[in-house]
A and B are shown apart, each in its own frame.
Chain A
Amino acid sequence: MTITMVKAPAVSISGLTVAYKTDAGELPAVSQVDLELAAGTITGLVGESGSGKSTLALSLLGAVQKPGRVTAGSVVVDGIGDMAKLAGEELRTVRGAKIGYVFQAAQNSLNPLKTVGKQLLDLGKAHKVRDLKGLLRHAKDLLDRMGLNADRVLDAYQHELSGGMRQRVGIMFALVLNAHVLVLDEPTTALDMITQANILQIVRDVHKEQGLTTLVVTHDVGVVAEVAHKIAVMYGGRIVEHGPVTQVLAEPRHPYTRGLIHAIPRLTGDISAAKALPGTPPTLGTIPKQGCVFRERCALRMEVCETVEPPAQRMLDGRTVACHAVKEGAA
């Protein structure tokens, strides 16, 4: 932990608020988020659907779509600057070249009318790559390492590839320009278990080989346990717990993290031991305006939760937890 803190963080998000304009006014999907991604680590961002994790990931790319906008805070990426302030041509050249992004629907991220190779050349030209042959060589190299027949894949149309292959092609596209920050939005959703394991192995290998800083956005805690060094848990647009994976999973402190982990059924033992969290996650309109966003579903609810939003407290073991009920040293 302390070693990584010495280095400048690759991505440092501070006080980030992203709001969507709706009929009921501007509602924050991400609010006051502070998150640092240490260089060379894989961070898993988990949360239920609608917790704002994709919005947070998109803000890393400066790609929050209208009617949403960054209303406060900054997303500073090492070597680029504040993504929230970049626009136009500057923003475009950074995307893909410095920050690789594999989209949620990576399966559909290829143009159905063009071969993969053609799209690769388009990408090279858009980023003014002089050495297109070198780019092709690099792409082939990446595809080979991911266990694909590179020549066949480059000559193929999207519909000629399987879901897992497309996902790998998506990762290749995100990395081929030597991006040093990689964001994977739901990289294994809609893939079978074997392919999932395969993709995660690839993510881990490529991450190590290329010295990347990786953010994996998922709702699958298992995926995070598999690949990540650190885990950030999101609820109602806030990061409620953030820390090293092994510690957080072994000993969750925030009541929401606990609920999330207890909701996972075990392969062995009593299935009914898995307890779903009561209640439903808030939507954009029902996130409480003040106090703790999780209090409606919380077992440790106190009076203070109604009015005061819990600040993120740094624990002795290096993690941060945002909960009034968690005191330093408490288990």
Chain B
Amino acid sequence: MTERVARVSVRKQFWRGVWRALRRRPSRLIGLFIVLLFIFMAIAGSWFYPERLPYDAENIYAPISWEHPLSTDFEGVDVLALVITGTQGVLLVAGAAGLLTMLIGTAVGLYSGYNRGIGDSILMRIADFVLTIPGFPLLIVLTTTISLGSWWKMSLVLGLIGWGSLARAVRSQTLSLRERGFIEAARGLGLPTRHIVTKELLPNVAPFIATNLLMAVTGYIYAQVGLYFLGVLPIDTSNWGVMLNAAVFQSGALISPDALPYLLAPLGAILLLTLGVVLIVDALEEIFNPRLRES
């Protein structure tokens, strides 16, 4: 067994394990399918629809048909098209904010947990502070002072106020792992600290990071959609939140049954995406832990 062969076989085993973990329960495959579908919609949505969606003022709140499977809105724009083109904005912000959360939370958690000492105390006080900030009200206040319209500003703010709990989770896990025999042995065998943290600790914390991250991402979806729904963000983009806002406040979907599909479609999309994420989280522990992978 040469080194290359060893590495290749490890990698192959990993992907085989992922596939096996997903196949074990059909629900996980469904979750994967849902999430992949939304990612596809986010990437490919703009290929199928023009910048300005075709509208037909003669055909508002059209009955459900093959042409308009989810009815039309107050301008006669196809609701399905709105849901699909709205995916990109939602996923982009949630994904970017999630990435930021993961980077800050993991780095802070690993550093605090592994090194402890004064740096740990300072970082954890900051994390506690971040945790106590009520996120959503802060966002509303922020929208009045800085424009959160562009996706990267939105992700930045969401990511910066959301890393506290992840950092705490990673830290506590690291604290318990660093006392375990194999970390002690790695130190005794003279492995460099960087290797210990990135190659020995990180993979063991990975399922926690992934689970926390996916949950944070659904939180970001809610927050973003919520802001648009309340109308505190400029509603000139296509976004599920914008649809909800228009459905409730312009179309009166709560009292007019005609406009109901217009309200339910973005709600359904959010629910479906959340469901997909939750179903995938279920498989993560099994993917990362070789012991669970086999049996």
B and A form one assembly: yes
Taking Cβ atoms with an 8 Å cutoff, the residues of A that contact B are: 61, 63, 91-97, 101, 103, 105-115, 117-118, 121-123, 126-127, 132-133, 136, 151, 154-155, 157-159, 170, 173-174
Residue of B nearest to A154 (CB): B1
* 19 A-B contacts (beta carbon < 8 Å): A93-B190, A95-B187, A96-B188, A96-B189, A103-B181, A109-B181, A109-B184, A110-B181, A111-B182, A112-B291, A113-B290, A121-B7, A126-B189, A126-B191, A132-B3, A133-B3, A136-B3, A159-B290, A173-B189
Interface centre among B189, B191, B200 (most CB of A within 10 A): B189
Q: In the assembled complex, how far is the CB of residue B145 from the closest CB belonging to chain A, in whole angstroms? A: 46
Would you call A63 and B187 a contact (CB within 8 A)?
Answer: yes
Given A108-B182, A113-B204: A92 and B188 within 8 A (CB)? no
**Minimal beta-carbon separation of A185 from chain B (angstroms):** 10
Q: Are A103 and B1 in contact (CB under 8 A)?
A: no
| Chief secondary structure at chain A's binding surface | helix
Q: Which of chain A's residues have a CB closer than 8 A to the CB of B181?
A: 103, 105-110
Determine the distance from Cα of A94 to Cα of B180 in the docked complex, in whole angstroms: 22
Q: Mark B176-197, 1 if CB is under 8 A from A, else 0.
A: 0000111011111111100100
Q: CB-nearest residue of chain B relative to A159?
A: B291
Secondary structure at the B interface, as helix, strand, loop or mixed, is helix
Please measure, in the bound complex, the distance between the C-alpha atom of A26 and the C-alpha atom of B195, giving whole angstroms.
33
Q: Does B2 contact A (CB under 8 A)?
A: yes
Question: Which residues of A have CB within 8 Å of B10?
Answer: 115, 118
- In the bound complex, do residue B291 and residue A109 qualify as a contact, i.e. CB atoms below 8 Å apart? no
- Contact between A101 and B188 (Cβ–Cβ < 8 Å)? yes
Interface contact tally, CB-CB below 8 A: 95
| Complex interface: chain A residues within 8 A of B191 (CB) | 92, 96, 122-123, 126
A95 contacts B189, C-beta separation under 8 Å: yes
Cβ-based interface call for B203 (8 A):
yes
B190 touches A92 (CB 8 A): yes
Q: What mask results when residues 103 to 121 of chain B are scored 1 for a CB within 8 Å of chain A, else 0?
A: 0000000000000000000
With A103-B181, A132-B3, A133-B3 as given contacts, are A113 and B289 in contact (CB-CB < 8 Å)?
yes
Find chain A residues with CB under 8 A from B200 CB: 111
Q: Which residues of B contact A91 (CB under 8 A)?
A: 190
Report the bound CA distance from A258 to B174 in whole Å: 45
Complex interface: chain A residues within 8 A of B188 (CB):
61, 63, 95-96, 101, 103
* Among B184, B187, B199, contact of A122 (Cβ-Cβ < 8 Å): B199
Cα A264 to Cα B36 with chains together (Å):
67
Complex CA gap A54/B203 in Å reads 30
**Is the beta-carbon distance between A113 and B203 smaller than 8 angstroms?**
yes
Q: Give the residue name and chain of the B residue nearest to A166 (CB).
A: B181
Question: A111-B204, A112-B290, A122-B191 are known contacts; what are 4 more A-B pairs with Cβ within 8 Å?
Answer: A101-B185, A110-B185, A113-B289, A123-B189
For A113, the chain B residues whose CB sits under 8 A away are 203-204, 288-290
Residues of B near A136 (CB, < 8 A) are 1-3
- From A97, A110, A112, give the contact of B204 (CB < 8 A): A112
The distance from the CB of A220 to the nearest CB of chain B, in whole angstroms, is 20
CA distance A112 to B3 in the complex (A): 20
Please tell me if B6 contacts chain A, counting CB pairs below 8 Å.
yes
Pairwise interchain contact B190-A94, C-beta atoms closer than 8 A: yes
Whether B6 and A121, one on each chain, are in contact in the complex, defined by CB atoms closer than 8 angstroms, is: yes
Collect the chain B residues with CB atoms within 8 Å of residue A157's CB.
Answer: 290-291
- Determine the distance from Cα of A126 to Cα of B9 in the docked complex, in whole angstroms: 21
Across the interface, name the chain A residue whose C-beta is closest to B195: A126
Report the minimum CB–CB distance from A272 to chain B (whole Å). 39
Name A115's closest neighbour in chain B (CB-CB): B10
Residues of A within 8 A of B7 (CB): 118, 121
Q: Please, which residues of chain B bring their CB within 8 A of the CB of A95?
A: 187-190
Determine how close the nearest CB of chain B comes to the CB of A60; give it in whole angstroms: 11
- Nearest CB of chain A from residue B195's CB, rounded to whole Å: 6
Provide the residues of chain A in CB contact with B190, threshold 8 Å: 91-97, 126-127
With a cutoff of 8 Å between Cβ atoms, the chain B residues found around residue A108 in the complex are 180-182
**In the bound complex, how far is the Cα of B185 from the Cα of A92, in angstroms?**
12
Complex formed: what's the CA distance from A151 to B1 in Å? 8
B290 touches A170 (CB 8 A): no
Which residues of B lie under 8 Å from residue A111 when comparing CB positions? 182, 186, 200, 203-204
* Chain B hits for A107, CB < 8 A: 181
What are the residues of chain A within 8 A of B189 when measuring CB–CB? 95-96, 101, 123, 126, 173-174
**Chain B neighbourhood of A103, CB < 8 A:** 181, 184-185, 188
Q: Which of B190, B192, B204, B290 has most chain A Cβ within 10 Å?
A: B190
Chain A residues near B184: list those with CB within 8 A: 103, 105, 109
Chain A: which residue is nearest B193 at the CB level? Answer: A92
Given the complex of chains A and B, what is the CA–CA distance between A323 and B291 in angstroms?
Answer: 54
* A109 vs B182: C-alpha distance when bound (angstroms): 4
CA distance A272 to B288 in the complex (A): 54
A122 and B289 CA atoms in complex are apart in Å by 19
**B116 CB to nearest A CB, Å:** 9
Question: Which residues of B in the span 199-235 have a Cβ within 8 Å of any Cβ on A?
Answer: 199-200, 203-204
Bound complex: CA of A159 vs CA of B292, how far in Å? 11
Q: Are B289 and A117 in contact (CB under 8 A)?
A: no
B239 CB, min distance to chain A CBs, angstroms: 40
A93 and B195 alpha carbons, distance in the complex (Å):
13
Q: How far is the CB of A251 from chain B (nearest CB, A)?
A: 36
Instruction: State A253–B204 Cα separation when bound (angstroms).
Output: 51
Q: Which residue of B lies closest to A135 (CB)?
A: B3
Q: Which residues of A contact B180 (CB under 8 A)?
A: 108
A127 to B289: give the CA distance in the assembly, Å. 27
